[in-house]
Amino acid sequence: MDKKSVAIIGGGCSGTILAWLLSPAYNVTLFEKEPQLGGHVFTYKAHTDNKNVPVDVGVDHINEKLCPNIFMILDKLHIDTFVAPLSMSVLINQTGHLASWSNASNLGDLREKFVVEFDKFHKDMTYIAAHFDPKYLKITVIDFLKSNNYSMDFAHLALVPLLTSYYGCEAHSLEYSILYVAVSFDMNLLSFFTPGYWRKISGGMGSYIQKVSEKICGDILLNSSVTEVTKNSKEKLEIFLDDGKRFEFDEVVFATSAKDASNCLNFSDIDYKGLLGNFGYVPIEAILHTNEYKYKVNGEYFAFYQGKNDTHGTLTRINRNLYPYEKLKTPLNVTFNSTETIDEDKILCKKQWSLQTLRPIDGLFRSKIRDIQGKHGIWFCGTDTSVTGHEGAVVSAFVMADKLGVPYEFRENKAAFAQFNTVKFIMGI
């Protein structure tokens, strides 16, 4: 019997992994609008010290506790990781003097000011994570802080900078759900007292996307931006590209952001725009450059936050402070939403993305996608349909493949299977 055909729109981790999983069972075509696969994953090969050094410009941090499915994939592909502690130093310009704290030393005037609130916040987050009550999804960080008598200085000068390393510099992270923050503190991914426990992929995140893509038996169409998906008189789904090309499929899966999917769908019986078009996103600009980082406060850290005002700042990943990079002559720093001009001749690459917000309302939008899954043969996976982060996006691909007839393969790994079941529940398929 002829295999059914499936189009996967979006070649981030979710779409690429889905294409790999489905390709034995379907005729798969993967459409990606950019010249390369990866989406939020982008690894630049910097030429320095007579070699090509991979540097992650976008997604970089994973760990085996939070990401058991990703680690199962890495094992399968024989890809190594290395420990990459999220040590952080925060520097705030307070009318003329630079105030600081860090999670890797006991130094800094802000550390002294906030240490009691740091302590209390850790205890509170452990409590919330232990109770894991869905009501905490509806409570914002700022409401939680106000009702528990935290100071607004703690909110703006301590918590916002730390959350920046996760949610982006332009994120209004105090408006996000407290539950995500609680889980992160509880798992020691974020901490005021110690560097968070994370790992990075040897060879860069892009190397695993590359290896996965080599296993896809099907067509990978790069530079192919889908503009519209409709149904024709033969009840087939038609895909149109921005260059006018047209394709026909039995099933279509969007592995893009919800907003990008909504721009391609215009059916009279389903309000796709109303259901998918209201998610919030923050802009992220990442610049990989070779400028030495000029501020040195209390030692060396991986991430360095510099406050611009009470709510926003700029974040720099200082790769040379991770051991595989420490002997390099050239600094390979990645600065996010830079507030200072970086010399053009020091810039190796620039990338722009948008990242989903995690407000209580976004949880509600996510739960609505389940009502339209599979209608007209159109499906949705990727980070906007799932739990936050890279594991969430990857697991949404496993759930989608399972739904489309390719059984989930890591059931024997309890942690991986638990993630699968959680995401399956959220996706409602």
Ligand X SMILES: Cc1cc2nc3c(=O)[nH]c(=O)nc-3n(C[C@H](O)[C@H](O)[C@H](O)COP(=O)(O)OP(=O)(O)OC[C@H]3O[C@@H](n4cnc5c(N)ncnc54)[C@H](O)[C@@H]3O)c2cc1C
User: Which range in 31-39, 92-100, 189-197, 337-345 contacts ligand X by CB under 6 A?
Assistant: 31-39
Considering only 5, 20, 33, 275, the residue that binds ligand X (CB under 6 A) is 33
Interface segment toward ligand X; rule CB under 6 A; list 36-44, 132-140, 141-149, 342-350 = 36-44
Sign of CA pseudo-dihedral 363, 404, 207, 226 = negative
CB of 146 to ligand X, least distance (A): 28
Shortest Å, Cβ 130 to ligand X:
23
Sign of the Cα torsion 23, 24, 25, 27 reads positive
Based on the shown chain and the rule CB under 6 A, indicate whether residue 32 belongs to the binding site for ligand X: yes
Interaction between residue 219 and ligand X (CB under 6 A): no
Choose the binding region for ligand X from 13-21, 104-112, 403-411, 420-428 (rule: CB under 6 A). 13-21
In whole angstroms, how large is the CA radius of gyration of the chain? 22
The three-class DSSP label of residue 154 is helix
Asked whether position 34 contacts ligand X by CB under 6 A, the answer is yes
Tokens matching residue 416: 């991986």
Closest CA to 249 of 22, 5, 9, 10: 5
Asked if residue 286 binds ligand X (CB under 6 A), the reply is yes
Q: How far is the CB of 28 from ligand X (least distance, A)?
A: 15
Residue placing its CB nearer to ligand X in the complex, 46 or 255: 255
171 binds ligand X (CB under 6 A): no
DSSP class per residue in 364-400: HHHHHHGGGTTGGGEEE-SGGGSSSHHHHHHHHHHHH
Of 69, 13, 70, the C-alpha closest to 38 is 13
The distance from CA 294 to its chain's CA centroid, rounded to whole angstroms, is 28
Q: Least separation, in Å, of the C-beta of 162 and ligand X?
A: 15
Shortest CA distance to 291 belongs to which of 317, 312, 313? 317
Cα-based angle 379, 208, 345 (whole degrees, multiple of 5): 105
For residue 315, state whether it binds ligand X (rule: CB under 6 A). no
Beta carbons of 356 and 383 less than 8 angstroms apart:
yes
> Taking the CB of residue 149, how many other CB atoms lie within 10 A of it?
8
Give the 3-state secondary structure of residue 316: strand
Residue 117 touching ligand X (CB under 6 A) = no
Site string for ligand X, 328-357 (x = CB under 6 A): -------------------------x-x--
CA 127 to chain centre: 26
Rounded distance between C-alpha atoms, residue 184 and residue 191, angstroms = 8
Q: How far is the CB of 69 from ligand X (least distance, A)?
A: 12
Question: What are the angstrom distances between the C-alpha of 80 and each of 13, 199, 260, 346?
Answer: 18, 10, 33, 30
Scan residues 357-416 and list those touching ligand X (CB under 6 A).
Answer: 382-383, 389-390, 393
Does 165 sit near ligand X (CB under 6 A)? Answer: no
Q: Are 146 and 154 in contact (CB under 8 A)?
A: no
CB nearer to ligand X: pick between 41 and 142: 41
Binding of ligand X at residue 256 (CB under 6 A)? yes
Which residue of 7, 30, 55, 59 would you call a contact of ligand X, by CB under 6 A?
A: 59
> Contact with ligand X (CB under 6 A): which of 255, 372, 387, 401?
255
| Binder of ligand X out of 22, 29, 58, 280 (CB under 6 A) | 58
Q: Shortest approach of ligand X to residue 400 CB, angstroms?
A: 11
Q: What are phi and psi of 7, to 5 degrees?
A: -100, 135
Identify which range of 20-28, 211-219, 254-262, 412-420 contacts ligand X by CB under 6 A.
254-262
Query: Least distance to ligand X from the beta carbon of 305, Å?
Result: 15
In the complex, what is the shortest distance from the CB of residue 190 to ligand X, in angstroms, rounded to a whole number? 12
The residue among 191, 213, 186, 156 whose CA lies nearest residue 41 is: 213
Tell me the closest approach of the beta carbon of residue 260 to ligand X, in angstroms.
4
Judged by CB under 6 A, the stretch of 34-42, 94-102, 119-127, 297-305 that binds ligand X is 34-42
**Which residues contribute to the site for ligand X (CB under 6 A)?**
9-15, 31-34, 39-41, 58-62, 225-226, 255-257, 260, 264, 284, 286, 353, 355, 382-383, 389-390, 393
